[in-house]
Amino acid sequence: MAEENIDSGVTDSPKKGPTLSTSTSSFEALDPHDPNLSRLATTMFTKTADYLFGELTATQEEYKLLENMNRATITKYSDMKHIAANISKSMNELNEKYNSLQPYLDQIDQIEDSIAKLEQAAYKLDAYSKRLEAKFKNLEKR
């Protein structure tokens, strides 16, 4: 009967009956065992738990950072939207003021053209008067 169990991979546990074992040693919770192995297993599980906790905490912190960055970006874009709206409103007001002043600006342009013509006429008149004066002085000398 013991040969049958060895061939099929089933061994008899003294406390619980037949068990399937994938290794050459079996572990029973209440059996005495190596304390060094238990300490190493506990250390391994503790360090694995710490590592996984750290990884999850880091991921959580990254998501919090992304969330804060998204909030800051939303606030910034909202501020920029208000600034753009105010600039647009101011531009429209300036355009309206410019359009209302356009007739006066046209008049100023016309006056400037008239002044330029008067200035040319004044230079011509001045040149003419200088020629007349020169002629007069010539006549006076004779």
Beta bridge partners of 19: 11
Q: Terminal CA-to-CA distance of the chain, rounded, Å?
A: 165
Judged by average pLDDT, the poorest of 23-27, 58-62, 88-92 is 23-27
What is the C-alpha separation between 113 and 126, in angstroms, rounded? 20
What are the structure tokens assigned to 74, written together? 């939303």
Q: What is the mean pLDDT of residues 88-116?
A: 96
pLDDT digits (tens, 9 = 90+) for 1-43: 444 444 444 444 444 555 444 454 555 555 567 888 989 999 9
Instruction: Look at the pTM and tell me if it is higher than 0.75.
Output: no
Which helix (H) or strand (E) segment is 30 a member of?
Answer: none
pLDDT on residue 3? 44
The pLDDT value given to residue 2: 44
pLDDT (average), residues 44-50: 95
The stretch 75-98 carries a mean pLDDT of 97
